[in-house]
Structure 1
Amino acid sequence: MLEAVTAGGLPLATGGLAGGLTLDMLVVFGVILLALVLFVTEWLPIDVTAIFVMVLLILLGPDGVVNLTQITTTEGVSGFSNPATITVLAMLILSSGINRTGVVQILGRKMANFAGNSLNKQLLATIGVAGPVSGFINNTPVVAILVPVVSDIAHKGKTSPSKLLMPLSFASMFGGMLTLIGTSTNILASDVSDRLLGQPFSMFEFTQLGIIVFVVGSLYLLTIGHRLLPERVPPEEDYIQEYDLEPYLTEVVIGEKSSIAGTTVGDAIDAAEFDADILGLVRDDETVIDPSKNTRLRVGDTLRLRTDRETLDELVDSEILTAAGTPETDAELEPDDAVDQTIVEVVIPRGSFLAGETLASSTFRQRYDATVLAFRSRGGTIQEGMEHKRLRVGDTLLLQAAPDSIDRLSRNDDFIVAHEPDDPEYRTEKIPHAAAIMLGVVGLVAVPFEAIGAWLAAATGIGAFTGLSALSLPIMLTALMGVVAMVATGVIKANELYDAVEWDVILLLAGIIPLGIALEQTGGADLLGALVAATGNYLPVIGVLWVFYLGTGLITGVISNNASVVLMLPVAVEAATAIGANPFAFVLAVTFAASTAFLTPVGYQTNLFVYGPGGYKFSDFIRVGAPLQLLLSVVTVLGIAFFWGLRPA
């Protein structure tokens, strides 16, 4: 190992640079800049970026090749054993257990019955279910569950899904701020606050302010927000027009000279040579949707193809096929005698193995017995050359498949199917068990057993009552106890535990936590905090607090919300200390800003889930989210000042 270049932060030049800048600070800032670039560009998945950052910090630490980050191997991997990481892991399993009981879906159906054809009722029902539920179940799976419910409500009520899906995502963020366990960001921020200030969050630490944020945000969505949203997706469900597929769908006839007469569907068209898929077969006035690969083709058969005009011309010119016509609506592609809806949208959620793959590398058609007609990615629609386009989290695929294939997809955690299955498999009989377990998880953290025991001891003179304080347990322990209880009662099966965990979230937390430690240990947080504190010469304390809220919101818009908390909290604490402000108030401002990221679809996972099904453009989030972010910045900062004060107690 090379000799350390600096021990404890040797100045870069004699006397150091302005503000005491040192070489190890510069290295950590460089790692942060590299991480930001990777997060924004998505050259690597965010969880892989986080692990790369962790490895880089260790390599540049005292146990690596040169001591420039002060991060030992033990500190570098400490994110895996961090209470926040373990708590988030347990909460994801608990959320999955509740989801498997179908309780959220049942609430969704009641929501549909209430909503009817009124847009205001539909919005009220969407917000009224998504918000409160997200306070006690991690808000990411809540949105994943409600996307198909809300999409169905919209189409049945003759409303564009675009009017409801973004409010669904935003409402889940409001709800996530009602309790400590509403979002992984809160849990991580609590752990960082405990490390920096010795003051973690209690279960209902910010519920009072969370309720205010929820009410104000909901009123905005009900009055102004939905009016700013365009109808990107038509109320009437017609995917061909919605995805602009008319130029890519056609009917062809197998002529007498056709070279594919007598071959099977699977061998008829060389996928490597032609970008075309056989979607249906018409023979003797009988239509077969998604024919078997072993079906043998005959002269006179009419095939329904998905292909571009250039490929069609090649097929016709080579006398393989003869053009016949183009279906213009879903009804033509999917005739009335079809047994069920066979065209459906699916969203790629976080944790799906398809993220980062292509349709070709994932052998999509063979694996799922489904054909991709088109897909949306980051606001754009792709209809040709799809096989080798890399898929990303939030992409929405338009599929054609047999009804039983779609049912299998709805039960696959690699997809969010944008329609509820007709016969869902829920463990409704386990709802009481799941509710009791979650009540226990929350109650053992939230109930003030110590105060109750002291009061009973004083009132009765029985000192043994003080032992009730032992019932107050940390959230990490109660969450793990809840996981064991859910398996023991059959709410979730042991072999489902691993699928319930969003491992990319866990790896992100484990990889990014050491970066915050490096920022603190090298003095980088002190330096940045001092720079921001300089604004205190021109702004009152509440103004500096507002700057931190806005800054965190902007950063979260381009990187992970968890990453922004890790980077911003140490700086916020140092800045608050430098200007003599209440550091806990600054911690809360950063936490609220990171958990309510409305400006872009990539800053928060729930926004990605609704991006494709809502047909949104990137600018739609800015149009609706920017006024909301500004409004809540004022409400949140004033609320923090009122409830917690701006000066240390």
Structure 2
Amino acid sequence: MAALSTGALVVFGLIAVALTLFVTEWLPPDMTAIAVLVSLAVLEPYTGVPAREAIAGFASPAVVTIVAMYILSAGVEATGLVDWLGGRLAALTGGDERRLLGAVVGTTGVSAGFVNNTPVVAVFIPLVTGLSDRYGISPSKLLMPLSFAAMLGGTLTLVGTSTNLLASDVSRELLGRPFSMFTLTPVGVPVLLVGVGYLLTVGRALVPARVPPTQDFTEEFGMGRHLARLSVREGSPLVGHTVDEALDDGGPLAPVDDGQLIADGDPAAIDVDVLQIDRDGESLFATATDRPLAPGDVLTVRGNRQAVNRFGDRFDLRQLPREPVTESVLVDPDHDGVLAEAVVHRESRLLGRTLGAVDLRSRFDTTVLAVRRGETVIRERLDGVELTAGDTLLLQTPADKFSHLEDEGYLLLTDGPPELFGVGTDDGTPSLDPSAFVPLGVLAAVIALAAAGLVDIYIAALGGVVAMVAAGTLTATRAYDAVSWNVVFLLAGLLPLGTAMQATGGSAFVGDLLAGVAGVLPPLALLAVLYLLTALLASIITPVATVVLMAPVSVATAESAGVAGFPVLVMVTFAVATAFITPIGYQTNLMVYGPGGYRFTDYARVGAPLQLLLCAVTTLSVAAIWPL
């Protein structure tokens, strides 16, 4: 067994700290990765990673390719191709749940092999939730299979997911053998076929229907006791003032009798939001109108009964009979007011911030009515809610403002009216502009050039970016905005960790340990053990971190066990790309967590049998193609 050096102990200590930060998310994962990079360079005498080598990850072929593929994916997404395809599938399936599920997982799986699987899921989520509402199907029955299918499809080609590209880079460094465009395809095809078969049979039975099929957001989020209507009396102090100037912090009506403010965050605050003003049959968005309130105006407000009573007493308002305030009441067709559902994604600018601090109401005329976090729905004291990845927000918003929330990286739309998704054809299905074939042609050319070996994938992808911008598919600004820079920093920051493990002998030490444990096992069993260990780790921390940690360990284990390193590294690649058993391990799982109303354990319930099934399929396929 290789000796454990002081440098290896230092690197293992850094790994332990990094893993703790990844799990607790005390720092964002990308910042944790940069902290690792800095620590490795500062501790060079122990880690063997000089400063220049520590930052070399930013020029890694994997990182450059991922940047380019984000942009190419955005170009394809902008064509509306996925929306159009989804509309066609909806028409073909006729609302039958089994056929619709088959169409969703089949289309998503194949698409994710050529367009990064994260944007594919982002486009499909609102499509699936819309179809669920239309046909009376619980969206929960479709959203988890959607995510799993995208993960399965990501194993088809080199560009299906960022971890494939990273594993290829590691393979080039450790074994001198990077992946080609279709190296993974002979294994990816049976993995996809078996996975889809499982999702359509056993998985379909195991996926729970957490969210009932409904077209009314107020019912879905249980808002019945938290919405009310009040009429403005003649003597109300609100008369002659707009809602904003009357009730905002510092407004003329803000002080209450004891001199405290009715303002966000104040202990004496009345937790009520005015959502809408109805006057003579006309509905006005409270946040978007500057009309002064008048006697007889009817205010629709969000708040529990106690808060609404205090609000009515304070401002001399008459409570109307407690009739249900449904979605139709809160939708304002004259001013493009809508209710929508949106998820806080892993790259959101809202992460770790409270709703009160972000103040979406004043910045985007958008009011948060409720927050769903797993099984829990939060409807009160929303300003103090600190947002986490996977939270689903119920919003009242002008249709023309929501695009800003998406474009500026706040939220990802998961459900809402058709006007939020662009214009469709007369029969209600999305239209496909002929110009869509330009980015598709560019993407096909990039894949063909890389597959033929005429140009390295990162050069071909960068050339494709230039072609898309030159063709007018994307602007240069939109191209830069399409890149998930936190993923780039995560990748570049963690890459030198693998170098340090190699330089200090840490990989060899762990490899010897694993080889000793697996010494009594045949090579096939060793592959299966590495697959399960890697998949479990990837389900707890990020798949990117798992590739960096497990790739050099798997190669060292193979050397110690006397088996070929390349098939072992391929096993690790498939394991990190198919981490099904938690919502936090893979981005697409987290994206559907809130909209599907899932419990944390639902992922293990559906994903664990699939993980074990694919362990067998992947092990046998890899061993058949690359003899050990």
Same fold (TM over 0.5): yes
> Which of 203, 211, 234 is the aligned partner of 1:233?
211
Equivalent positions of 1:29-40 (< 5 A) are 29-40=12-23
* Maintained 8 Å contact 1:535/1:544: no
1:372 aligns to what?
368
* Maintained 8 Å contact 1:529/1:572: yes
1:46 aligns to what?
29
Residue 118 of structure 1 pairs with residue 114 of structure 2:
no
Distance 1:591 1:129 in 2: 23
Matched to 1:141, the amino acid is P
Q: CA deviation at 1:558?
A: 1.2
| 1:567–1:255 CA distance, 2 compared to 1 (3 A) | same
Structure 1, 582-591 or 399-408: larger mean CA deviation? 399-408
SS at match of 2:540: coil
Q: CA deviation at 1:625?
A: 0.8
Distance 1:182 1:634 in 2: 22
> Which of 356, 359, 376 is the aligned partner of 1:360?
356
SS at match of 2:194: helix
* Maintained 8 Å contact 1:427/1:491: no
* Maintained 8 Å contact 1:47/1:508: yes
2:571 aligns to what?
589
> Which of 375, 378, 383 is the aligned partner of 1:382?
378
**CA deviation profile, 1:503-547 (whole Å, cap 9, x unmatched):** 111011011111111111111111111111112232211111111
Distance 1:435 1:203 in 2: 17
Residue 423 of structure 1 pairs with residue 415 of structure 2:
no
**CA deviation profile, 1:43-85 (whole Å, cap 9, x unmatched):** 1111111111111222222xxxxx2222210121111111111
* Maintained 8 Å contact 2:355/2:383: yes
Matched to 2:433, the amino acid is T
SS at match of 2:377: strand
2:347 aligns to what?
351
Distance 2:229 2:263 in 1: 18
Q: CA deviation at 1:338?
A: 6.7
2:595 aligns to what?
613
Residue 305 of structure 1 pairs with residue 273 of structure 2:
no
**CA deviation profile, 1:430-467 (whole Å, cap 9, x unmatched):** 3222122112211112126xxxxxxxxxxxxxxxxxxx
Equivalent positions of 1:453-602 (< 5 A) are 472-602=454-584
| 1:526–1:634 CA distance, 2 compared to 1 (3 A) | same
Distance 1:242 1:400 in 2: 14
Matched to 2:263, the amino acid is A
**Aligned residue-pair number:** 601
Matched to 1:603, the amino acid is G
* Maintained 8 Å contact 2:2/2:508: no
Distance 1:487 1:316 in 2: 56
* Maintained 8 Å contact 2:336/2:400: no
* Maintained 8 Å contact 1:281/1:291: no
| 1:24–1:380 CA distance, 2 compared to 1 (3 A) | farther
> Which of 21, 25, 32 is the aligned partner of 2:4?
21
Q: CA deviation at 1:165?
A: 0.7
Distance 2:50 2:306 in 1: 58
* Maintained 8 Å contact 2:283/2:332: no
Equivalent positions of 1:153-552 (< 5 A) are 153-256=131-234, 258-269=236-247, 270-272=262-264, 273-284=269-280, 286-290=282-286, 292-316=288-312, 318=314, 320-328=316-324, 330-331=326-327, 333-334=329-330, 342-406=338-402, 409=405, 414-418=410-414, 419=416, 420=418, 421=420, 423-424=422-423, 428-447=433-452, 472-552=454-534
Equivalent positions of 1:128-147 (< 5 A) are 128-147=106-125
| 1:381–1:57 CA distance, 2 compared to 1 (3 A) | farther
Q: CA deviation at 1:350?
A: 4.0
Distance 1:378 1:26 in 2: 39
SS at match of 2:356: coil
Distance 2:61 2:603 in 1: 34
Matched to 1:594, the amino acid is V
* Maintained 8 Å contact 1:355/1:393: yes
Distance 2:287 2:70 in 1: 40
| 1:427–1:152 CA distance, 2 compared to 1 (3 A) | closer
Structure 1, 320-329 or 73-82: larger mean CA deviation? 320-329
| 1:554–1:102 CA distance, 2 compared to 1 (3 A) | same
* Maintained 8 Å contact 1:71/1:518: yes
1:459 aligns to what?
none
Matched to 1:187, the amino acid is L
Structure 1, 362-371 or 525-534: larger mean CA deviation? 362-371
Q: CA deviation at 1:645?
A: 1.6
Distance 2:147 2:338 in 1: 27
2:254 aligns to what?
none
**CA deviation profile, 1:347-405 (whole Å, cap 9, x unmatched):** 23343322333322223112211111012235532222222322233322111123333
Q: CA deviation at 1:286?
A: 4.3
Distance 1:294 1:336 in 2: 16
Matched to 1:625, the amino acid is G
Matched to 1:27, the amino acid is V
Matched to 1:611, the amino acid is Y
| 1:253–1:22 CA distance, 2 compared to 1 (3 A) | same
Report percent identity of matched pairs: 44
Matched to 2:340, the amino acid is V
Q: CA deviation at 1:322?
A: 4.2
Residue 55 of structure 1 pairs with residue 54 of structure 2:
no
State TM-score, norm by structure 2.
0.91
Distance 2:317 2:341 in 1: 30
Q: CA deviation at 1:252?
A: 2.5
* Maintained 8 Å contact 1:241/1:329: no
Q: CA deviation at 1:319?
A: 5.5
Q: CA deviation at 1:593?
A: 0.5
SS at match of 2:624: helix
* Maintained 8 Å contact 1:553/1:596: yes
| 1:322–1:629 CA distance, 2 compared to 1 (3 A) | same
* Maintained 8 Å contact 1:342/1:406: no
- Structure 1: runs of 5+ lacking an equivalent: 1-17, 62-66, 449-471
Q: CA deviation at 1:582?
A: 1.4
SS at match of 2:278: strand
Structure 1, 137-146 or 331-340: larger mean CA deviation? 331-340
Q: CA deviation at 1:247?
A: 2.6
Residue 71 of structure 1 pairs with residue 63 of structure 2:
no
Matched to 1:113, the amino acid is A
**CA deviation profile, 1:118-150 (whole Å, cap 9, x unmatched):** 011110110121111111110011111111111
SS at match of 2:458: helix
Distance 1:493 1:326 in 2: 51
